[in-house]
Amino acid sequence: MDLADKLDILAPAARFDACDSYSQGDRRYTPRKAVWDDNRVAVESGPDGRRLSTFRVLMSSKCEWNCPYCPLRAGNDTPRATLTPEELVRAFIPRYEDGAVQGLFLSTGVDTDINKATERMLDSVEFLRKRHQYTGYVHLKLLPGMTYGALEQAAKLADRVSLNLEAPSAERLAHISPRRDWSQDVILRLLWARNLQRSGLLSGGLATQFVVGASEESDQELLTTTMWLYRDLDLRRVYFGAFRPVLGTPLEHQLPTPFVREQRLKEADWLLRHYGFTTDEMPYNIQGNLPLHIDPKLAWALQQADRFPIELNTADETQLLRVPGLGPVSIRRILRLRREYRFRDPVQLKGLGGALNRVRDFITLDGKFFGRDADARLRHYGKPKPIVEQLTLW
């Protein structure tokens, strides 16, 4: 099998590993050159916060495990391929030199066993670093149960490492990946990586990923574990990927997770990391899930009739961050402008664009309210509507 044929198998298979930035859809981002016609480029934030286009590929699509949700499971009839270190270099370096990508995202299946699969991946990155003097960004997706020595080597070679939790607890993980021990194979390895990060390695930090909906977990479970990962294990990012059923797997008849649920979890994660929200404040329903028809910040605000409206001219930054439609950039602008004059009319906020109608429902301007009352707001934003998505099997 030649290299092009291998990449046709290994690059699409890598899409199951999320590494996209939350703000990936920002229109200001464009790769430096669009010279390669392939779907092998993902976007993530690098060590300094800049977004990088990364070449995303599996080292091998062969896997010894039989995780019920995974398209690469050993029992699934799917094309398999494996790259050598030399082939990885031949695939990556030309794209990097042409400016089509600024970094590498490398993952692998459990080809033969954990140690051999990990060694093959590490050898490839070391070959790239030492033989070809590549000093750019590398994100390595690690395997559960790997040795401390291998993890230490990965931390020295890579800018960021990640290890997928897949589920928010040991009980949930047992349903979708019975070969993995949640505490020993994953959490312990994340603890090792955290300590290596604290020693000065891993400028891009640690990350993990959940398969949303595969184990029938609630959003509250996911976000509670997410907050613990940020607080105690120093993770830089937690990614969420909506479960999609795959033909030939035990979960092929399970309903797919709506992509809007993935988006709501990303928004909630953003609130936890940047807006001072806690997991207990999230607007869960009785089943512990976030509403799908509106974003969690707006849903929370609609439940806080006693907190709103607040006065835009005197509210502090913490209060303003809780106003739907206001973000850090617009708040900094408001704080700067109100040192020069008082806001008295909504027209002064026209720079907020489409968010203006939402903002005016939750603020007063020099004591005057220009929005809708609480009952009218609830009527306007309406009740949840059925989420209809076309069922596609991967």
As a three-state string, the secondary structure of the chain is CCHHHHHHHHHHHHHHCCCCCCCCCCCCCCCCCCCCCCCCEEEEECCCCCEEEEEEEECECCCCCCCCCCCCCCCCCCCCCECCHHHHHHHHHHHHHHCCCCEEEEECCCCCCHHHHHHHHHHHHHHHHHHCCCCCEEEEECCCCCCHHHHHHHHHHCCEEECCCECCCHHHHHHHCCCCCHHHHHHHHHHHHHHHHHCCCCCCEEEEEEEECCCCCCHHHHHHHHHHHHHHHCCCEEEEEECCCCCCCCCCCCCCCCHHHHHHHHHHHHHHHHCCCCHHHCCCCCCCCCCCCCCHHHHHHHCCCCCCCEECCCCCHHHHCCCCCCCHHHHHHHHHHCCCCCCCCHHHHHHHHHHHHHHCCCEEECCEECCCCHHHHHHHHCCCCCCCCCCCCC
pLDDT single digits (tens) 191-201: 999 999 999 99
Domain shared by 221 and 110, yes or no: yes
Domain shared by 346 and 249, yes or no: no
Closest CA to 271 of 305, 233, 321, 218: 321
Domain shared by 106 and 222, yes or no: yes
Domain shared by 104 and 236, yes or no: yes
Q: What is the pLDDT of residue 11?
A: 84
Mean pLDDT of 341-355: 83
Domain shared by 198 and 136, yes or no: yes
pLDDT single digits (tens) 204-239: 999 999 999 999 999 999 999 999 999 999 999 999
Q: Mean pLDDT across the chain, nearest whole number?
A: 87
Domain shared by 230 and 335, yes or no: no
pLDDT band at 268 (very low <50, low <70, confident <90, very high): very high
C-beta separation of 275 from 297 below 8 A: yes
272 within domain boundaries: no
Identify the CATH number of the domain in which residue 149 sits: 3.20.20.70
Domain boundary among 200, 235, 258: 258
Domain boundary among 199, 231, 258: 258
pLDDT band at 120 (very low <50, low <70, confident <90, very high): very high
Q: State the Cα–Cα distance between residues 272 and 19, nearest whole angstrom.
A: 19
Domain count, the chain: 2
Domain boundary among 241, 258, 275: 258
393 within domain boundaries: no
264 within domain boundaries: no
Domain shared by 246 and 341, yes or no: no
Tokens linked to 161: 């490492």
- For the cut 80, the answer to whether the pLDDT of residue 108 exceeds it is yes
280 within domain boundaries: no
Q: What is the pLDDT of residue 207?
A: 95
Domain shared by 234 and 323, yes or no: no
Q: State the Cα–Cα distance between residues 155 and 204, nearest whole angstrom.
A: 10
- For the cut 60, the answer to whether the pLDDT of residue 324 exceeds it is yes
Portion of the chain with pLDDT greater than 70, in percent: 88
Domain shared by 87 and 151, yes or no: yes
- For the cut 50, the answer to whether the pLDDT of residue 331 exceeds it is yes
281 within domain boundaries: no
Buried b (16+ CB within 10 A) or exposed e, 161-188: bbbbbbbbeeebbeebbeebbbeebbbe
Q: What's the angle, vertex CA 250, arms to CA 245 and CA 253, rounded to 5?
A: 45
Domain shared by 247 and 349, yes or no: no
C-beta separation of 160 from 142 below 8 A: no
pLDDT band at 26 (very low <50, low <70, confident <90, very high): very low
Q: What is the pLDDT of residue 21?
A: 42
Mean pLDDT of 85-108: 91
Q: What is the pLDDT of residue 272?
A: 95
Residue-range definition of the domain harbouring residue 143: 3-258
Domain shared by 180 and 248, yes or no: yes
Domain shared by 236 and 340, yes or no: no
pLDDT band at 249 (very low <50, low <70, confident <90, very high): confident
pTM over 0.85? The answer is yes
What amino acid is encoded at 88 in this protein? L
- For the cut 60, the answer to whether the pLDDT of residue 141 exceeds it is yes
284 within domain boundaries: no
283 within domain boundaries: no
367 within domain boundaries: yes
